[in-house]
Structure 1
Amino acid sequence: MTHALPGYVCPDDGTRADARTAPWCCPVCGGPWDLDFTPDPASALDPGSGPNSLWRYGSALPLPGAFAVTLSEGNTPLVPLGERIHAKLDFLMPTLSFKDRGAVMLAEVARRLGPERVIADSSGNAGTAVAAYCARAGLNCEIFVPEGTSEKKTEQIRAHGAAVRPVPGGREATAVAARAEADLPGVFYASHVFNPYFLHGTKTYVYEVWEELGGRLPEALVLPVGNGTLLLGAALAVEELARRGVRPPALIAVQAEAVSPLAAAFAAGAEDAEPVEQRPTLAEGIAIPAPPRARQILAAVRKSGGAFLTVPDDALRAAQRDLAGRGLFVEPTAAACWAAVGPLSPANPLQGRTAVIPLCGAGLKSGLTP
């Protein structure tokens, strides 16, 4: 039996498209797609009776019918980091980062569409996840990465059988190179930024927090933001759970001080972000000078009553070492939220609220910062 895939809708101009034939972006404005899908709040949501993967939230996910692609992703533990802060250990995913949540959705969509080749652009973690799940699905895959990407990350991508194409320049140049091939015949562009199925995978992060906290959410969710795929997925889940009577938390977004266009726009009261210079930072995973979903990210944080925080590299370095001293070895980007709200933070941004932070990527991917 063939099940229809929910289609795409442009959040800016309302353009609609069939997921099976749509271009990778809105043909009218060139922006990213949203998904024409809203879970039924009356549908049963009993994750305890589902499979040991994020597919146990099937009634809230946009892929109807039986799924075939999985590495038992999700279900990562929640551990206390202090009296009122918990950390969710998403670096314990199969490819050692939270990007598995979205990559498994994209691979399942691609499997159903049957392309000749899957491509993606990434600074490392998303590409690794897409490569792994494409391998699981039996799909040919090519990952575009910036020159200078950590060898540990490119080795992991190649280990999954994907081709690696280094691109001169930074993260934006890499995205441009991939998008130049995205609409070629037989290509599925597994973009973790433009394809909304990815966001419906990352939203399971919040469903798991809700499950692990006994059917509630903390007063604040603190989230690292570059392209905003985890924050926007979290915002989706918060809205969906609110329809089921769950009290929504504030969304606290964290950016690297060196590259923080969203924090600057938020502080200025702007609805969109102006591009900024690509500057070096230890938090390479969130160093995005022109996020395509900037308007949505800013709107989501404001709607939640949240805020933006920025952290300098010396704070990232200290937070990474502090977490390692607590038994949690993560990459610098993954330490950003702890740098912003942990005990080393010079302020008290949480103001006594309960909070959950994600530890998104394993330290083995990049090592300990000097």
Structure 2
Amino acid sequence: MTSYHCPDCGTGSPVETALWCCPACRGPWDLDFTAAPVDLNSLPGRVNSLWRYEEALPLPTPAATSLGEGRTPLVPLTTTVSAKLDFLMPTLSFKDRGAVMLAELARGLSPRRVIADSSGNAGTAVAAYCARAGLDCTVYVPEATSAKKVEQIRAHGAHLELVPGDREDTATAARAAADTPGTFYASHVYNPYFLHGTKTYVYELWEELGGRLPEAIVVPVGNGTLLLGASIALSELHTHGLITERPALIAVQAEAVSPLAAAFHAGAEELLDESVESGPTLAEGIAIPRPPRARQILRAVRESGGTFLTVTEDQIRAAQLDLAARGLFVESTGVACWAAVGGWRDRTAVVPLCGAGLKTGLAPGQSVQ
């Protein structure tokens, strides 16, 4: 295995210690890992999952843990905007990309138990992949989490902890439990192996488009796991000469909870010191007031030449119905990117449809004729 390092203070740790964060500053880890180039011509005939990009992944292959995740369809929505249907993953969300990496890592470390915290989709994915890997799993979620997501977590055999309060309260409870000996914290925020799973989203785009990428990659951002994974992939592909130009990363937040967008447009390198007012939003999966990797997210968007966009609750409702009318039933968080760029005509772009509509149903206030 490779090793962890802290991007803030430089502290390092072997992966085998299973420390979930930097012991010096309590920040999230990065990974000391150098990907080898992936030969596009070698991909036909490989395993039909994200493990096909074995040269770029920080775990040995063939992997024992897999549910055939990845390889989701790319379909056009307009002449310039296409959608990648990541809600067709085994647990019906893009979080499978990172969860399979965490479960395979944990399987090799053999902890007594795995814990995760989530607003729903990441917890569901970790529960499913821990079941696949034969690992005992506990998932912490806010008590207001969608009943369908709670049911899905329980169905995979995970122990469920319903936490009073919001997503931040849930994370605090899980992190307290993460320090218990024999525990592996399958954090999609703090553990960088998750990001090396989500980066396969871009590798798939690159493969599906014949070694090219769109001019813009649009992603919803709460904790930034898909955006940071995309940034890693773009850096790797560019370093190896597999793309000549990097697409702009367009980050989308709900207007009601948009601390990163506020910091970006203020020209700040980290979250603003003063509190940014947050309200309820239909996009619960990206309603993160203080993402731990905020500095990295802001830097990645700026370095790509991208920007932040925000969407209102009415735009989210309209986008969900619009996609449903096109045959795609997506949960309200997953439609945020389409809400932001649905009318684009000036450049090619891909949006992810991240979670299935069956997880939450139609957003409140919707009416279908």
TM range (shorter): over 0.9
Aligned letter for 1:50? R
The residue aligned with 1:234 is: 230
Aligned letter for 2:361? G
The residue aligned with 2:342 is: 342
Alpha-carbon RMSD across the aligned residues, in angstroms, is: 1.1
Q: CA separation in 2, counterparts of 1:36 and 1:266? A: 28
Contact 1:276/1:290 (8 A) holds in 2 = no
Superposed CA deviations along residues 104-155 of structure 1, whole A, max 9, x for unmatched, are 0000000000011000000000000000000000000000000110000000
Q: Are the structure 2 counterparts of residues 180 and 277 from structure 1 closer, same or farther at C-alpha, using a change threshold of 3 Å?
A: farther
Secondary structure in 1 matching 2:16: coil
Q: CA separation in 1, counterparts of 2:34 and 2:106? A: 21
Secondary structure in 2 matching 1:251: strand
Deviation at 1:44, TM superposition (A): 4.1
Aligned letter for 1:362? A
The residue aligned with 1:222 is: 218
Counterparts of 1:1-370 in structure 2 under 5 Å? Answer: 5-41=1-37, 44=39, 46-245=42-241, 246=243, 247-274=245-272, 276-343=276-343, 350=344, 352-369=346-363, 370=365
Q: CA separation in 1, counterparts of 2:14 and 2:254? A: 37
Aligned letter for 1:270? A
Contact 1:232/1:297 (8 A) holds in 2 = yes
Superposed CA deviations along residues 330-370 of structure 1, whole A, max 9, x for unmatched, are 00100000000003xxxxxx561100000000000000112
Superposed CA deviations along residues 208-252 of structure 1, whole A, max 9, x for unmatched, are 000111111000000000000000000000001112320210000
Contact 1:119/1:187 (8 A) holds in 2 = yes
Secondary structure in 1 matching 2:72: coil
Contact 1:334/1:358 (8 A) holds in 2 = yes
Deviation at 1:277, TM superposition (A): 4.2
Q: CA separation in 2, counterparts of 1:260 and 1:115? A: 36
Deviation at 1:315, TM superposition (A): 0.3
Q: CA separation in 2, counterparts of 1:271 and 1:8? A: 23
Q: CA separation in 2, counterparts of 1:39 and 1:196? A: 14
Q: CA separation in 1, counterparts of 2:20 and 2:287? A: 23
Question: TM-score of the superposition, structure 2-length normalised?
Answer: 0.95
Contact 1:251/1:305 (8 A) holds in 2 = yes
Superposed CA deviations along residues 7-45 of structure 1, whole A, max 9, x for unmatched, are 10111111110111042111111110001001123x645
Superposed CA deviations along residues 169-227 of structure 1, whole A, max 9, x for unmatched, are 10000000000010211100000000000000000000000011111100000000000
Q: CA separation in 1, counterparts of 2:60 and 2:321? A: 43
Secondary structure in 2 matching 1:214: coil
Q: CA separation in 2, counterparts of 1:353 and 1:119? A: 42
Contact 1:76/1:88 (8 A) holds in 2 = yes
Contact 1:278/1:288 (8 A) holds in 2 = no
Aligned letter for 2:283? A
Secondary structure in 2 matching 1:169: coil
Sequence identity of aligned pairs in percent? Answer: 72
Aligned letter for 2:5? V
Contact 2:51/2:62 (8 A) holds in 1 = no
Q: CA separation in 2, counterparts of 1:292 and 1:220? A: 25
Secondary structure in 2 matching 1:148: coil
Aligned letter for 2:351? I
Contact 1:170/1:278 (8 A) holds in 2 = no
Aligned letter for 1:268? A
Q: CA separation in 1, counterparts of 2:230 and 2:319? A: 23
Q: CA separation in 2, counterparts of 1:351 and 1:191? A: 37
Secondary structure in 2 matching 1:165: strand
Q: CA separation in 1, counterparts of 2:348 and 2:312? A: 24
Q: CA separation in 2, counterparts of 1:277 and 1:157? A: 31
Deviation at 1:279, TM superposition (A): 2.0
The residue aligned with 1:347 is: none
Contact 1:115/1:188 (8 A) holds in 2 = yes
Where in structure 2 are there 5+ consecutive unaligned residues?
none
Aligned letter for 1:359? L
Where in structure 1 are there 5+ consecutive unaligned residues?
344-349
Secondary structure in 2 matching 1:49: coil
Contact 1:49/1:56 (8 A) holds in 2 = no
Q: CA separation in 2, counterparts of 1:239 and 1:63? A: 19
